[in-house]
Amino acid sequence: MQNLSPEQLRRTLLWSVGGAVAATIAWLLGMFFTCQPALDFLCICAFAPIVLAAVWVGLGLQLLTFVSRYPQRRRFLFWSLIVAAFLLPPYILMRAGGDMFTLSFRYHLWRAGGVAKVRAEFSQWLASRPSMSSQDDEKMMFHDVTPGRGTVLVPVGKLPASVRYLHDHFPSRFGISRNGVARLDNVTVFTTTYIMIGPPGWEPQGGASVWDHIVGRRHKVADGIWIDIGTYDK
């Protein structure tokens, strides 16, 4: 870029910012529509947050250098872009995936009939499920135990409408409830998600700390409905 005129350099930087914005929005929408906190398409998609964060840091440095060398008439625009370029990387790396996953769940919660209906049908379904043992209150929500102690999937037609809808969009690896709280757990790339649907007033132990709010680790979606997002370490 050293051989470019200031006007050419300005246009190149603005086009580069536009491309980064388009890629970031496409990544966010991809997570929203796939109901995942990360994208696992191909190999590069798993590392999209790192790539996008590096791109934004590089653009921020380029913009900062450009503004310091060539004072602009539209200083507010360029300084706004610089601030955004340096604020986006930590957001992308720390909580963008969790925010999109939570937003997607809120949307599908509404599509499933709303908080009251979903909570009531999950409670009704859990009440009808047998406990895994006489010593605890753990229940398998989507599997039945066979006489040979194996497991088979519960026929889809037996699931209440909202339970079937949410399980279809947010499939669970184990689908085990504890103490009357449904837990839809899954793993995407290196991220674990737990959707917890309990009775009114229920909340996970400790609720949500200040750090949880900062990094988006735990979200309260509605009364008795929480999402927990963490790093897969197994």
- Which residues does the chain have with pLDDT short of 70? 1-2, 42-44, 72-73, 134-136, 149, 232-234
> What's the pLDDT at 101?
94
**Closest of 181, 211, 221, 222 to residue 230, by C-alpha:** 211
Q: Are residues 127 and 63 in the same domain?
A: no
> What's the pLDDT at 47?
86
Q: Are residues 126 and 184 in the same domain?
A: yes
DSSP tag of 188 = E
Q: Are residues 20 and 108 in the same domain?
A: no
Where is the domain boundary, 94, 118, 147? 94
Q: Are residues 112 and 221 in the same domain?
A: yes
Q: 1 lies in a domain? A: no
Number of independent structural domains in the chain: 2
Q: What is the DSSP annotation of 54-92? A: HHHHHHHHHHHHHHHHS--TTHHHHHHHHHHHHHHHHHH
Q: Are residues 67 and 32 in the same domain?
A: yes
pTM, entire model: 0.88
Q: Are residues 180 and 221 in the same domain?
A: yes
Which residues is 81 bridged to in the sheet? none
Q: Are residues 52 and 114 in the same domain?
A: no
The number of CA neighbours under 13 Å toward the Cβ of 161 is: 6
Q: For residue 49, what are the domain limits? A: 6-94
> What's the pLDDT at 72?
66
Q: Are residues 117 and 224 in the same domain?
A: yes
Helix axis angle for 96-111 and 6-34, nearest 10°, is 50
Q: 74 lies in a domain? A: yes
> What's the pLDDT at 146?
78
